[in-house]
Copies of this chain bind each other. A is one copy, B any other.
Amino acid sequence: MAAALDTDEIESRLAELNKSRGKAWQWSIVDHKLHAEFRFPDFVEAFSFMTASALIAERMNHHPEWFNVYNRVQIDLTTHDAGGLTRLDFELATAMSDAAAR
């Protein structure tokens, strides 16, 4: 099982995740979860992103908490089994950001 990361590790991985990504695709820590709010041109684009992310999540066996309305997708990542954030959350966030940038 992936181990919970400490505060320093989280900050360093968060900086790495957000580096060289535009303002619209930044992640932050909200309520101890890795959080992002992405906006797309329309529902088709938003759900296409969700579909790509769903395939990645299922392959990783690590799934997001997410909310969608029309062109907006709010995402929260955490590792319940570890009681905090793990490398899995950052790996999924990176893959989701890559999918959003396509």
Contacts and interface: CB of A to CB of B under 8 A. Distances in A.
A65 B64 CA distance: 16
A7 to B, nearest CB: 25
Interface residues of A, number: 16
Contacts of A65: 67-69
A99 interface: no
Contact of A58 (B44, B50, B67, B69): B44
Contacts of A51: 47, 51
B54 A63 contact: no
A40 interface: no
Given A47-B58, A64-B68, 18 more contacts: A43-B54, A43-B57, A43-B58, A43-B63, A44-B58, A47-B51, A47-B54, A50-B50, A51-B51, A63-B69, A63-B70, A64-B69, A65-B67, A65-B68, A66-B68, A66-B69, A67-B67, A67-B68
